Amino acid sequence: MWDKIFMLNSGWCGFDNFAIRYIPGGLAAQFIDFAEITDQLVYNEPITLQASATSGLPVTFEVVQGPATLDGNILTLTGEEGLVKVRASQPGDGTSWQSAPAVTRTFYVVDPENYAPEITIRRPYEGTKVYMPDFDNPVMVVLSAYIDHGTVLKFEEVKCEVDGQVLFLKTDYPNNPDNGYWYTTWIPSGEGSYNMTVSITQTGGKVTTASNTFEVTTNYNDIVVSALNGEVVATTQNFTAYGEFPFPTHVNAFNAINLHYLHNCVNGNCNTYDHQSYVRVKNYRGEWVELCRYITPFGVECVDDLDVTDFTSVLQGLVEFEYYSEQYATGEGYNPTAIFEYTKGTPEYPYVDLQELWYGNYAFGDYSDLCPVPTRTVKFDPCVEKAKLQITTSGHNWSDTGNGAYNTGNAAEFYHAVHNININGATMYTQDLWQTCNPNPAGCQPQNGTWTYSRAGWCPGSMSMVWNYSLDEYLPDGGADVLYEFDPTYVDQCHPNYPDCVSGQNSCPNCDNSSNPILKVSGKLVTYSHNTDILTEVPELPDVDAEPFQVIITPNPARDNLTITTDYEKGKASVVFINSQGAKVRGFSMKGTATVNVSDLPSGIYFVHVIGGQVVTRKVVIQH
Q: pLDDT by residue (tens digit) across 225-276?
A: 999 999 999 988 889 999 999 999 999 999 999 999 999 999 999 988 898 9
Q: What is the pLDDT of residue 470?
A: 98
pLDDT, position 53: 95
* 3-state SS, one letter per residue, for 514-573: CCCCEEEEEEEEEEEECCCHHHHCCCCCCCCCCCCCCEEEECCCECCEEEEEECCCCCCE
For the chain, give the longest Cα–Cα distance: 90
Same domain, 376 and 513: yes
DSSP 44: P
Please, what sign has the CA dihedral across residues 211, 139, 261, 452?
positive
Together in a domain, 208 and 228 = no
Q: Do 166 and 157 form a contact (C-beta atoms < 8 A)?
A: no
Mean pLDDT, range 98-127, rounded to an integer: 95
The answer as to whether 2 is a domain residue is no
Q: Is the pLDDT of residue 175 over 70?
A: no
Which CATH number belongs to the domain containing residue 459 in this structure?
2.60.120.230
* Coil vs helix vs strand at 61: strand
Domain boundary among 153, 186, 217: 217
5: in domain = no
Residue 339 falls within a domain, yes or no? Answer: no
Range in 37-51, 241-255, 432-446, 571-585 with the lowest mean pLDDT: 571-585
Q: Is residue 341 in some structural domain?
A: no
CA distances from 592 to 14, 363, 497, 551, 610 (A): 18, 18, 14, 10, 12
Instruction: Note whether residue 602 is domain-resident.
Output: yes
* Alpha carbon distance 234, 85 (integer Å): 39
Q: Are residues 449 and 419 in the same domain?
A: yes
Residue 483 and residue 557 share a domain: no
Q: Are residues 209 and 128 in the same domain?
A: yes
Residue 194: CA count within 13 A, CB half-sphere? 25
Confidence of residue 71 (pLDDT cuts 50, 70, 90): very high
Is there a single domain that holds both residue 140 and residue 188? yes
Give the CB-side neighbour count of residue 245, counting CA atoms within 13 A.
21
Residues whose CB falls within 8 Å of the CB of residue 82, separated by 6 or more in sequence, listed in order:
66, 67, 108, 109
Environment class of 606 (CB within 10 Å of its CB; exposed 0-12, middle 13-18, buried 19+): buried
Report the chain's terminal Cα–Cα distance, integer Å. Answer: 36
Confidence of residue 179 (pLDDT cuts 50, 70, 90): low
In 10 A of CB 353, how many CB atoms?
25
pLDDT band at 176 (very low <50, low <70, confident <90, very high): low
Residues 398 and 526 both lie in one domain:
yes
Lowest-pLDDT choice from 9-18, 59-68, 128-137, 587-596: 9-18
Residue 145 shares a structural domain with residue 188: yes
Note whether residue 343 is domain-resident: no
Is residue 435 located within the same domain as residue 540?
A: yes
Q: Reply yes or no on whether the pLDDT at 24 is more than 80.
A: no
Name the residue among 174, 181, 186, 173 with its Cα closest to residue 141.
186
Indicate if the pLDDT at residue 153 is higher than 80: yes
Residue 124: pLDDT band with limits 50, 70, 90 = very high
Instruction: Tell me which of 200, 217, 234 is where a domain ends.
Output: 217
Q: Answer yes or no: is 342 within a domain.
A: no
Check pLDDT > 90 for residue 528. Answer: yes
* Residue 549 reports pLDDT greater than 80: yes
Percent of the chain residues topping a pLDDT of 90: 68
| CATH number where 37 lies | 2.60.40.10
Question: What is the number of other CB atoms lying within 10 angstroms of the CB of residue 99?
Answer: 16
Contact in structure between 160 and 167 (CB atoms under 8 Å): yes
CATH number for the domain harbouring residue 612? 2.60.40.2950
More confident residue, 536 or 106: 106
Residue 500 CB burial class (10 angstroms; 0-12, 13-18, ≥19): exposed
Tally of helices (H runs) and strands (E runs) in the chain: 1, 44
Torsion of CA 567, 573, 579, 581, to 10 degrees: -130
pLDDT tens digits for 461-514?
A: 999 999 999 999 999 999 999 999 999 999 988 888 989 888 887 678 788 877
Task: Identify the sign of the CA torsion 320, 539, 313, 317.
Answer: negative
| Residue after which a domain boundary falls, among 544, 564, 583 | 544
- pLDDT at site 397: 80
**pLDDT band with cut points at 50, 70 and 90 for residue 172:** low
Tell me how far apart the alpha carbons of residues 372 and 518 are, in angstroms, rounded to a whole number.
Answer: 11
Q: What is the pTM of this model?
A: 0.87
Identify which of 411, 389, 388, 390 has the alpha carbon closest to the alpha carbon of residue 399. Answer: 411
Alpha-carbon torsion angle 34, 38, 41, 46, nearest 10: -20
Contact 437, 460 (CB under 8 A): yes
Instruction: Of 192, 150, 179, 185, give the one whose Cα is nearest residue 165.
Output: 185
Within 10 angstroms of residue 552's Cβ, the number of other Cβ atoms is 12
**Is 337 within a domain?**
no
- CA distance readout (Å), 295 to 29, 126, 226, 331, 369: 56, 35, 21, 16, 27
543: confidence class by pLDDT, cuts 50, 70, 90: confident
Q: Domain span at residue 17?
A: 11-110
User: Contact 316/257 with Cβ under 8 angstroms?
Assistant: no
568 with 368: CB under 8 angstroms? no
Which residue has better confidence, 154 or 400? 154
User: What is the domain count for the chain?
Assistant: 5
**pLDDT mean across residues, the chain:** 90
Model pLDDT, residue 1: 44
DSSP state at residue 392: E
Q: Based on the domain organization, do 368 and 300 belong to the same domain?
A: no
Are residues 380 and 315 part of one domain?
no
pLDDT of 64 > 70? The answer is yes
606 and 497 share a domain? no
